Chain A
Amino acid sequence: MAILEVNNLYLSFGGLQVLHDVSFSVNSGEIYAIIGPNGAGKTSILNCLGGFYHQQKGEIFFDGNNISHISPDRRAALGLARTFQNIALFRGMTVLDNIKLGAHAHLKTGLLGAALYWGPAHREEMALREELENEIIDFLEIEHIRKQPVGTLAYGLQKRVELARALAMQPKILLMDEPVAGMNAEETEDMVRFILDIQEERDLTIVIIEHDMRMIMDISDRIMVLNFGQKIAEGNPQEVQKHPEVLKAYLGEKREPR
């Protein structure tokens, strides 16, 4: 069953056509990868999904709702979480505070809501949330740094904290923009293990953008290939690897021998 459906997405900035008639659907529980050369429009797709870019044409359906025109915060509240290519953590805060903020989506941020939010129901929810936070912290093995300000952490750990924060949102779908970019071999291995565990244990749908081909081919259920804003191929890793258009986009055309 498709949890995310994107129909005929067009996006341009001025005269620059960024996405041209891109359609795809992501099935519940799968790892769906979007790959393509630099500038192919991968991050633009995530920004359209998250609500930061507004497509000129096309519609996005998430979990039965048409989310094409609603604001980023409301999409988050519906269960759409995201990690960023350039880490977007709250730098002055500790690891734990960052993770706590992940659960924020499920609390109403309205002015009145804040004033009326007290009593036993409040306490009960706090307890539940603390349990969730602890579980996530254990799961991602960041117990030892929970009190540290995120700004002081190594790059790989910051990426992990960002993932933890996204999980604390209890999303239905997780959009990951280059989760292992700039990581060393060991950090990459850890991250891959976490992504697979998340999908398995939490039954989470993951949409991932990544340049690390070996990783993508290892973990993805299905892959979409973009080039110059257009979808040129889609399928499981074996199919995509053999696809002539993909080879052309990545390796260039083979010249006829003279």
Chain B
Amino acid sequence: MEFFLLLLTSGIAVGGVYALIALGFVLIYKATSIINFATGEFMMIGAYIFYSCTVLAGWPAIPSFLIVMAGAGLLGLLVEKTILRHMLGQPTISIIMVTIGLSSILMGLAEMIWSSQFKSFPALFPRAPIIIGDLIIRSNLFWGFVVAMVTVAIFALIFKYAKVGVAMRATAGDQLAAFSMGINVRSMFTLAWIFGSIAASIGGLIVGNIGGVQPNLGGIGLKIFPVVILGGLDSIGGAVLGGFIVGIVENLAGGYLDPLVGGGVKNVAPFVVLVIILMVRPYGLFGRKEIERL
């Protein structure tokens, strides 16, 4: 039982981080219908900026964090304005290829600037593990979870209550109508990329803080696909729930099944769940179902 709870809590903690990264993905997809395959690389760039600020420049964590957010926002803005703006109306497959190309470019850039060697952050949080009742959680994982949840909550509040958030939801709902309501749809697209990039980069910070930074840190982005597809590509609540499901399934499978078959189940299990759920609910758990009226 104790083993189960241990796996469950670390699953929840990891799931919270997945949820944040998935949020970065969903924010962009919801407003612009673009599947951003470079989400993982946005994370990686965020982590490297943080590394440069704290280790290379020796600045304290909080200002470095703010610089990461500004840098990530700028990256999202540039990508949207210089590349994707011009792809409007092009076939989906071309746009997907562009984001895949972008991910390779960012990875190459990171290798040129920071080399492919493994880097790590200075210790940000007290090293002692967090103890809740009988449970012991690694400190980096616990604080990563806290940061992720706070970020997700802030984004959710913006979407629900702030004018900008309402305008973004309207843009996601119906672009023509949004335009007619006086919403500047183009700047909403830009904003979606800025928000998406910031969410991903904070995710990158957390992952980098737990496991170090290298150019292929973004590989974790692959795990985000089961998360977002599980939740429905365009649902923020779904992304959060999907994150937890994937984190928990992964950890339970890793803990119970890996010793039996000699490893590997941990990485496959989320995809097995994904396939099963999609067979039952093709639009994901919370995805928008287009209802055809005849």
**A residues whose Cβ falls under 8 Å from a Cβ of B:** 50-52, 71-74, 76-77, 81-82, 84, 88-93, 100-102, 104-107, 109-111, 113-114, 117, 151, 165, 169
Contacts and interface: CB of A to CB of B under 8 A. Distances in A.
Interface of B: 162-164, 166-167, 169-170, 173-174, 176-177, 179-188, 191, 288, 291
A104 B173 contact: no
Contacts of B184: 71, 73, 109
Contacts of A51: 179
Contacts of A73: 179, 181-185
B173 A90 contact: yes
A117 B181 contact: no
B163 A84 contact: no
B163 A91 contact: no
A169 B181 contact: yes
B163 A107 contact: yes
Nearest to B158: A114
Sorted nearest first, the 9 A-B pairs with minimum C-beta distance are A105-B182, A76-B182, A90-B173, A88-B177, A72-B179, A114-B164, A77-B182, A73-B184, A73-B182
A88 B174 CA distance: 7
Contacts of A106: 182
A105 B291 contact: no
Contacts of B186: 71
B182 A104 contact: yes
Contact of A117 (B163, B170, B174, B291): B163
B239 to A, nearest CB: 16
A89 B169 CA distance: 12
Nearest to A88: B177
A101 B180 contact: no
Nearest to B162: A114
17 contacts: A50-B179, A50-B180, A71-B179, A71-B184, A72-B179, A73-B183, A77-B182, A89-B177, A90-B177, A91-B173, A93-B173, A104-B163, A104-B166, A105-B181, A105-B182, A106-B182, A109-B182
A110 B162 CA distance: 12
A230 B187 CA distance: 36
A77 B182 CA distance: 5
A88 B167 contact: no
Given A72-B179, A104-B167, A117-B163, A109 B174 contact: no
